[in-house]
Amino acid sequence: MYQLLAHPNEIGIVRAYILGDFDVEGIDYADPYPAMRKLISLSKYVKPLTPASIARVSAGILSHGFKKPPVPSTEGPSKFARIKRGLMPHTEKADSETVSFHYDMSNEFYADFLGPSMTYTCAVFDNEHMSLEDAQANKLRLILDKLDLKPGERLLDIGCGWGSMVITAARRGIKALGVTLSKEQAAYANEWIAREGLQDLAEVRVQDYREVPEHDFDGICSIGMMEHVGVKNYQSYFEEMFRLLKPMGRLVNHQITISHDKPHGKPGTDEFLDRYIFPDGDLGAPGFIESCIHDAGFNVVHQENLRQHYALTLHHWNQNLSEHWDDAVKQVGFERAKVWGMYMAACALNFELDGIQIHQFLAAKPDRVGHPDGKWYPLRQWWQA
């Protein structure tokens, strides 16, 4: 109760859960989805607290002496505290630190729930019985088919993670460059490239997308990257993509979105995600994103909503975390593993309830005289979901 008295909001509840101040009988810390689903079904029976009842509870606690409750070691600084340190959201310095907070923990921990593909974005399932590995390979195939790149052509993968897209493209003979702000990811990706003997075709750098010196890429993919960019920076981000692409080049942007379509989306994520998972995370609405792509000079060719696919992906990740729980705790500690189980289960529920969505956009850069990209787009698209 001390946590809730000090912070009568979601942070108070999260801190109490992480520190074990309360527990749920029979809960699987790696996959608390069933408990969350049950709580939602029971929430309609909960009566809101009145000022009088809050006062009675507070008085009872205070009569025993109030102690400032501890903060979990896994909690990061607030947005205000980061700004006080000079880390203005979505500057290069702040982005480098926030990406490191999320990704530079342990590659082994991520492998525990991502599986061999090491792909930390929504998979694409042909059906609900498809394996996670096949669905992730299907997602990479889908994006490359949309980009329609040929052997010898050049791909830039922004926010490339552990290198799965770069590797997949190089296996097709495509020259692939991946950039990430995570040193752990880059090291893992380049070791993977070397193991497969693809050094002549693939490279991953620790580099901000704003600092990439090359240009005239035939294709660019941005997969799960935009959540770190900031809604206010969408326009400049797509303008940079436009600059980096050669005329008639293609862009695939794959990102989590909010379900409504208000003019500028809903800046920022909730406090739990900001403190524990994605500092400075930001989600925009699909209509606003499409407008930004268009206003940057692109022809928007196709877009689709993969919301149900992400819910299923997250269920697989929670299941994997449960199966590898002991190693996950060994890698990052009990508190952080518990946080990740809660985060992924809550996200799965949010996708199922249509609180958030995920959209994939295909856009083409016109040639220098303003014509479309010159490639034939069939009336019925050639890729299969």
pLDDT in tens, 113-143: 999 999 999 999 999 999 999 999 999 999 9
66 and 132 in a single domain? The answer is no
Q: Give the pLDDT band of residue 381 (cuts 50, 70, 90).
A: low
pLDDT of res. 17: 86
Q: Are 301 and 363 in contact (CB under 8 A)?
A: yes
Looking at residue 380, what is its pLDDT? 59
Q: What is the CATH number of the domain that holds 293?
A: 3.40.50.150
Asked whether residue 344 is domain-assigned, the answer is: yes
Residue 213, pLDDT score: 95
- Beta carbons within 8 Å of 170's beta carbon, 6+ residues apart: 176, 193, 196, 198, 201, 202
More confident residue, 73 or 4: 73
Burial 37-55 (b: 16+ CB within 10 A, else e): eeeeeeeeeeeeeeeeeee
For position 315, what pLDDT does the model report? 98
**Higher local confidence (pLDDT), 200 or 92:** 200
* Amino acid symbol at 257: T
Residue 67: band (very low, low, confident or very high) from pLDDT cuts 50, 70, 90: low
If one counts every other C-beta atom within 10 angstroms of the C-beta of residue 128, the result is: 10
The helix or strand, by DSSP H or E, that contains position 254, with its residue range, turns out to be strand 245-258
Q: What's the pLDDT score for residue 343?
A: 94
Select the highest-mean-pLDDT range: 164-168, 180-184, 225-229, 285-289: 164-168
Average pLDDT value for the chain: 86
Q: What is the pTM of this model?
A: 0.85
Tell me the percentage of the chain whose pLDDT exceeds 90. 62
Taking only the tens place, the pLDDT of each residue in 326-364 is 999 999 999 999 999 999 999 999 999 999 999 999 999
Distance CA 232, CA 238 (A): 12
209 and 62 part of one domain: no
Choice between 271 and 69, residue whose per-residue pLDDT is larger: 271
Res. 49 pLDDT band, cuts 50 70 90: low
Answer whether 90's CB lies under 8 Å from 280's CB.
yes
For the chain, the domain total comes to 2
Q: Are residues 101 and 67 in the same domain?
A: no
The pLDDT assigned to 41 comes to 80
Average pLDDT of the residues in 6-11:
59
Residue 383 covered by a domain: no
Residue 176 and residue 256 share a domain:
yes
Residue 273's pLDDT band (cuts 50, 70, 90): confident
**Does residue 286 or residue 51 have the better pLDDT?**
286
Of residues 296 and 20, more confidence is placed in 296
Which has the higher per-residue pLDDT, 59 or 384?
A: 59
Do 44 and 96 share a domain, yes or no?
Answer: no
Residue 191 pLDDT > 70, yes or no? yes
Considering the domain architecture, whether residues 124 and 37 belong to the same structural domain is answered as no
Residue 128 sits in the same domain as residue 58: no
The answer as to whether 213 is a domain residue is: yes
Distance CA 58, CA 29 (A): 30
For residue 29, give its domain range. Answer: 2-72
Q: Among 66-75, 173-182, 356-365, whose mean pLDDT is lowest?
A: 66-75
Q: How far is CA 30 from CA 34, 189, 210, 336, 342, in A?
A: 11, 27, 37, 11, 7
Residue 6 confidence (pLDDT): 47
Q: What is the structure's pLDDT at 94?
A: 66
Distance from chain centroid for Cα 290: 19
Q: Note the pLDDT tens digit of each residue in 76-119.
A: 777 777 777 776 766 776 677 767 777 778 899 999 999 999 99
Mean pLDDT of 173-188: 96
- Exposure on the CB side of residue 265, measured as CA atoms within 13 A: 28
Is the predicted pLDDT of residue 222 greater than 60, yes or no? yes
Q: Which residues contact 10 (CB under 8 A, 6 or more apart)?
A: 270, 271, 272
92, 67: one domain = no
CA-based diameter of the chain, in Å? Answer: 77
pLDDT of residue 263: 47
Query: Mind giving me the DSSP string for 2-29?
Result: HHHHH--SHHHHHHHHHTTSS--TT--T
Whether residues 238 and 298 share a domain: the answer is yes
- Give yes or no: residues 214 and 315 share one domain: yes
Q: Are residue 109 and residue 31 in the same domain, yes or no? A: no
